[in-house]
């Protein structure tokens, strides 16, 4: 009996998903619990496991967009498991009978260490594309349907020779100069989200700087005992999260959002922390930051970073934040204007720590300074409130002992 593979619901607002990758070939025998398919939505990627053992049949191809609840394949439970090992991909009968003997030498042949999905290989054969020239974007560098469809061949070498023949100029290289591929659903969503943020809010950014001397000295003093007690390092981000909580308490207008013609005030402190990955920017939310300890915040950051890099971030991990912190400083950014994460009304941008001369008590001294940028929705937050917020963050960072004792 065949059991259908359907696209599960992955969030209330998500109505469709894209077939990202089939991990098992059409006709291959799969065991219950094995990962057979990765689907991508505009928010997350999700791996689907086989709920039954049997022979797999694809009814949707990689790159296809399908509705939630749609049937994309089936597993035939009547199929018998091959002796000793998992069955290999079933070869279509006509491919053995009709394929010419020289097929292995066709332009579509991939290199020995190159991974190619069955659908991608079929399309490459039909179009005469040399797979060795196609860059794979799937898991482990696997060439997918989208990679082949978006492939742009390099200029023909004979054409290059004819161009150079009469002019005496060096021949134009036939090396591939561009690659074209479809945007992933996640990248499309990020693009739409950023454009929407700029079009739907009155964005304004205010700047300040903070002296990192005391925070750095405190971390140095307590780092060894902190790691020994909690098993995690004390980083800068937990200080800034705690500082933001204090600033939100002092300026509640930034802990609010506009919903139609109403203002929704939040009385909780769930802070989003932007995490960059190969697949795009994720903003997992650390819950109840006002009640969590520094160690609890640091552990949450580590857990989310690991999940993001492994592609295991869940939809609920990204929802419900009231404010976002983005740390461009880890990439060397000196100053930037971060874009809001709607429907939030504020986002704090951290930047690289730089040794700079500053005037303190009438004397010029060298201090580790960080630029801070607060972007906010001017429809809801006035300039005075934004500046007050940023100064409060600065005060907390420059006097970290007060945050530790709650003063």
Per-residue pLDDT tens for 18-51? 888 898 888 899 998 888 888 887 667 788 888 8
Would you state the pLDDT for residue 20? Answer: 81
More confident residue, 344 or 312: 344
Specify whether 23 is catalytic.
no
CATH code of domain 2-76: 2.40.50.100
Looking at residue 42, what is its pLDDT? 65
Predicted local confidence at residue 161, as pLDDT: 42
Q: What average pLDDT does the segment 272-287 reach?
A: 83
Q: Please list, in sequence order, all residues whose beta carbon lies within 8 angstroms of the beta carbon of residue 22, skipping any fewer than 6 positions away.
A: 36, 37, 58, 62, 117, 118, 119
Which of 32-36, 57-61, 162-166, 219-223 is the least confident region? 162-166
Residues 192, 288, 382, 401: which is the catalytic one?
382
- Structure confidence at residue 175 (pLDDT): 60
Residues 136, 111: Cα–Cα separation, whole Å: 12
Instruction: Show Cβ contacts of residue 294 under 8 Å, excluding neighbours closer than 6 positions.
Output: 226, 234, 238, 239, 242, 404
DSSP strand pairing (363-377 vs 203-211): antiparallel
Per-range mean pLDDT, top range of 71-75, 87-91, 174-178:
71-75
Burial 47-61 (b: 16+ CB within 10 A, else e): ebebebbbbbbbebb
Instruction: Tell which residue, 279, 341, 339, has the closest CA to residue 313.
Output: 279
Active site residue 382: yes
Q: Name the pLDDT band for 288 (thresholds 50, 70, 90).
A: very high
- Facing residues of 35 across strands? 49
The pLDDT mean for the chain works out to 82
**Same-fold call for 93-165 versus 186-405:** no
| In the chain, where the domains are located | 2-76, 93-165, 186-405
Question: How confident is residue 401, by pLDDT bands cut at 50, 70 and 90?
Answer: confident
pTM, whole model, 2 decimals? 0.63
Q: Which phi and psi (to 5°) does residue 334 adopt?
A: -95, -30
pLDDT attached to residue 223:
95
**Residue-level pLDDT at 190:** 75
The stretch 196-206 carries a mean pLDDT of: 90
CATH homologous superfamily for the domain 186-405: Chloramphenicol acetyltransferase-like domain (3.30.559.10)
Distance CA 227, CA 233 (A): 5
Q: Is the pLDDT of residue 171 over 60?
A: no
Check residue 310 and give its pLDDT: 76
Ordered DSSP codes for 317-351:
GSS--SEEEEEGGGGT-----PPP-TT-SEEEEEE
Q: How far is CA 76 from CA 51, 54, 68, 126, 403, in A?
A: 11, 5, 22, 29, 60
pLDDT, tens digit (0-9, with 9 covering 90-100), for 361-396: 999 999 999 999 999 999 999 999 999 999 999 999
Question: Exactly one of 76, 130, 270, 378 is catalytic; which is it?
Answer: 378
Q: Which residue has the tokens 């990020």?
A: 190
Topology, domain 93-165: Dihydrolipoamide Transferase (4.10.320)
CA distance 250 to 283: 24
Residue 178 vs residue 160, higher pLDDT: 178
Contact 209, 370 (CB under 8 A): yes
């Amino acid at each position: 009996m065949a059991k259908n593979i359907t696209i599960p619901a992955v969030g209330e607002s998500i109505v469709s998903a894209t077939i990202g990758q089939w991990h098992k070939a059409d006709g291959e025998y799969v065991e219950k619990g094995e990962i057979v398919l990765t689907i991508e939505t505009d928010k997350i990627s999700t791996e689907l496991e086989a709920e039954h053992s049997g022979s797999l049949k694809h009814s949707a191809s990689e790159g296809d967009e399908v509705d939630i609840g749609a049937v994309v394949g089936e597993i035939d439970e009547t199929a018998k498991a091959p002796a000793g090992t998992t069955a290999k991909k079933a070869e279509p009968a006509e491919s053995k009978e009709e394929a010419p003997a020289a097929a292995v030498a066709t332009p579509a042949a991939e290199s020995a260490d190159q991974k190619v999905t069955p659908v991608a290989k079929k399309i490459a054969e039909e179009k005469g594309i040399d797979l060795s020239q196609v860059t794979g974007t799937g898991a482990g560098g696997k060439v997918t349907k989208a990679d082949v469809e978006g492939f742009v061949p390099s200029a023909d070498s004979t054409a290059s020779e004819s161009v150079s023949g009469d002019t005496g100029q060096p021949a134009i290289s036939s090396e591939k100069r561009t690659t074209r591929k479809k945007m992933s659903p996640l990248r499309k969503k990020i693009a739409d989200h950023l454009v929407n943020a700029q079009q739907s809010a009155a964005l304004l950014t205010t700047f300040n700087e903070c002296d990192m001397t005391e925070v750095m000295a405190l971390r140095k003093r307590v780092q060894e005992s902190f790691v020994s007690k909690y098993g995690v390092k004390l980083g800068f981000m937990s200080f800034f999260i705690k500082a933001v909580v204090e600033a939100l308490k002092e300026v509640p207008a930034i802990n609010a959002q506009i919903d139609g013609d109403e203002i929704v005030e939040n009385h909780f402190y769930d802070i989003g922390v932007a995490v960059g990955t190969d697949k795009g920017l994720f903003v997992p939310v650390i819950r109840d930051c006002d009640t969590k300890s520094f160690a609890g915040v640091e552990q949450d950051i580590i857990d989310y970073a690991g999940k993001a890099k492994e592609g295991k971030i869940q939809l609920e991990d990204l929802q419900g934040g009231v404010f976002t912190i983005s740390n461009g400083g880890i990439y060397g950014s000196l100053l930037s204007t971060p874009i809001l994460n709607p429907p939030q009304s504020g986002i704090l941008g951290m930047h690289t720590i730089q040794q700079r001369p500053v005037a303190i008590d009438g004397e010029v001294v060298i201090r580790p300074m960080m630029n801070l940028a607060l972007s906010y929705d001017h429809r809801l937050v006035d300039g005075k409130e934004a500046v007050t917020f940023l100064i409060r963050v600065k005060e907390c960072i420059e006097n970290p002992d007060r945050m530790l004792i709650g003063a």
